Amino acid sequence: MKRFRIFIGAMALSVVSSMLYAQDITGTWRYIDDKTGEPKGLVKIEQQPDGSFAGKVLRITPRPGYTPKEICTGCPAPYTNKQILGMQVITGLKTEDQTSYTDGRILDPVAGKIYRLKGKLSPNGKKLYFRGYVGVSAMGRSQTWLRVE
């Protein structure tokens, strides 16, 4: 009986710790091309002084047949003609509940467009499901990002 209680206690602690871990989107994420399934690069998400989250490009991954852009030539101000590496591409993302985020903006430096952004963190904290859209969320694109350990 004592072993059973220890086992239940360990399981409960494991569940609670994984839930606490899943509440945090800060860290480095590998973003995946939603059309090809190939990794495109790394973005580091950090919490800002106002409590919102922002993300900047740490790495752009070259792929066969694809040469990544280095400069954001077709992007709106203040991103126009700026280097993409190191650029803050996510801004204003706010916590909605323990695993949901909303009211953010994301820049697509390839298309040169800014989209509204919302996200959902997986229960284990290892995947981040983003939806970028203009106007209505149903008229957007989804991407799954993977946490880099």
Domain contains 14: no
Domain contains 90: yes
Average pLDDT over residues 60-79: 88
Domain contains 76: yes
- Residues forming a β-bridge with 100: 120
Domain contains 8: no
Q: What share of the chain is helix, strand, coil (3-state, %, to 5)?
A: 15, 45, 40
Please give the pLDDT value at position 122.
97
Please give the pLDDT value at position 81.
95
Count how many Cα atoms sit within 13 Å of the Cα of residue 80 in the half-sphere of its side chain. Answer: 3
| Residues ≥6 apart with Cβ < 8 Å to 117 | 90, 93, 101, 104, 105, 106, 130, 131, 132, 133
Domain contains 11: no
Domain contains 77: yes
- Domain CATH for 79: 2.40.128.520
How far is it, in rounded angstroms, from Cα 70 to Cα 43?
15
Q: Could you list the residue range(s) of the whole structural domain that residue 110 is in?
A: 27-147
Over the stretch 90-141, which tens digit does the pLDDT of each residue have?
Answer: 999 999 999 999 999 999 998 899 999 999 999 999 999 999 999 888 888 8
Average pLDDT over residues 47-59: 97
- Residues forming a β-bridge with 142: 131
**Are residues 34 and 141 in contact, defined by beta-carbon separation less than 8 angstroms?**
yes
How far is it, in rounded angstroms, from Cα 29 to Cα 83?
20
Average pLDDT over residues 25-47: 93
Q: How far apart are the first and last CA of the chain?
A: 37
Number of domains in the chain: 1
User: In the chain, pLDDT over 90 holds for what percent of residues?
Assistant: 66
Residue 66's pLDDT band, with cuts at 50, 70 and 90, is confident
From 23, 84, 15, 82, select the one nearest 55 (Cα to Cα).
84
Average pLDDT over residues 67-78: 90
Domain contains 132: yes
Please give the pLDDT value at position 90.
98
**Are residues 87 and 56 in contact, defined by beta-carbon separation less than 8 angstroms?**
yes
Domain contains 105: yes
